[in-house]
Amino acid sequence: MASESDLADMVRRAKEASGSKKFRQSVEMIVVFRDIDVKKGFALNEVVQLPKVGAPAAVCVMASGDMGLKAKEAKADKVIDAEELGKLGANKRESRKFVNRYDFFLADTKLMPTVGKVLGQILGPRGKMPTPVPFNAPIESFLERFRSSTLIRLRNSLSLSCKIGDETMDDGDLAANAAAILSAVEKKLPNGDKNVRKIMVKTTMGRLTQAAPQEKK
């Protein structure tokens, strides 16, 4: 695996290559794999908690009653109850726009059947099915964890792209996030880092920078 110093150097060069823009750019990492047969169903769908947080992930909570109130007090990005879920189900276009607005969804276990019925066909393919939250579980802790997380998905492809932060963050912090993602991904690969062909970093509008390709051992 690339070291954090290698990753920090890639981040630095990606920022330099990008130049100044009139908006805050995201910093993305692209990982290209080898010797993996995606046709046989290999896939990744992992939530990775990042050690350094820039802009927190947007989290929607589907709950009512006490859990809904606590979610609002904890300043969840959105809290919706069963009635609002039902309204969403009547408008597929609005449902898609709603789902695309949030990075993660949490749901009271009692609402999971309704969520599956109303939004399952939209949430499922995007890897955004809600994490169930049991009755009396500390919704604040769930929110804290998911706000500092990112979703890693790989389906029918030999590469994945994921956001590691934005250009205002320190190079070392971005490298730490990249290292955390790589560590989580490599644990799921059949042969660990031997399945990683190359790692690249770029800003939203910038060019790709990469470390030296890893050689097969």
Are 129 and 160 in a shared domain?
no
Q: Is residue 216 part of a domain?
A: no
Instruction: Give kind and range of the element (H or E) at residue 197.
Output: strand 196-203
Q: Is residue 177 part of a domain?
A: yes
Tokens of 203: 């800003």
Range in 9-13, 38-42, 72-76 the model is least confident about: 38-42
CA distance between the termini of the chain: 13
Nearest C-alpha neighbor of 181 from the set 206, 159, 150: 150
Does the pLDDT at position 61 exceed 70?
Answer: yes
Are 170 and 65 in a shared domain?
no
Does the pLDDT at position 215 exceed 80?
Answer: no
pLDDT of residue 171: 96
Are 8 and 113 in a shared domain?
no
Does the pLDDT at position 193 exceed 80?
Answer: yes
Does the pLDDT at position 216 exceed 70?
Answer: no
CB crowding 145-168: b at 16 or more within 10 Å, else e: ebbbbbbbebeeebebebbbbebe
Are 107 and 81 in a shared domain?
yes
Total domain count for the chain? 2
Are 63 and 140 in a shared domain?
yes
pLDDT of residue 214: 47
pLDDT of residue 211: 65
Does the pLDDT at position 217 exceed 50?
Answer: no
Report yes or no: 8 and 175 within 8 Å, Cβ to Cβ.
yes
> What's this model's pTM, rounded to 2 decimal places?
0.84
Are 50 and 153 in a shared domain?
yes
Mean pLDDT of 176-205: 94
Q: What is the mean pLDDT of the chain?
A: 90
Are 157 and 187 in a shared domain?
yes
Identify which of 83-87, 163-167, 176-180 has the greatest average pLDDT.
176-180
CA distances from 119 to 82, 87, 93, 134 (A): 12, 11, 11, 20
Mean pLDDT of 31-39: 89
Does the pLDDT at position 119 exceed 70?
Answer: yes
Are 196 and 120 in a shared domain?
no
Are 63 and 137 in a shared domain?
yes
pLDDT of residue 54: 85
Does the pLDDT at position 213 exceed 60?
Answer: no
The domain boundary residue, chosen from 146, 169, 195: 146
Calpha distance 155→143 (Å, rounded) = 27
Does the pLDDT at position 34 exceed 50?
Answer: yes
CATH number of the domain at 186, please.
3.30.190.20
pLDDT digits (tens, 9 = 90+) for 124-157: 988 899 999 998 899 999 999 999 999 998 888 8
Are 174 and 112 in a shared domain?
no
pLDDT of residue 1: 67
Range in 20-24, 48-52, 177-181, 208-212 the model is least confident about: 208-212
pLDDT above 90 coverage of the chain, percent: 71
Its domain, for residue 182, covers 4-54+149-210
Calpha distance 158→43 (Å, rounded) = 10
Does the pLDDT at position 121 exceed 80?
Answer: yes
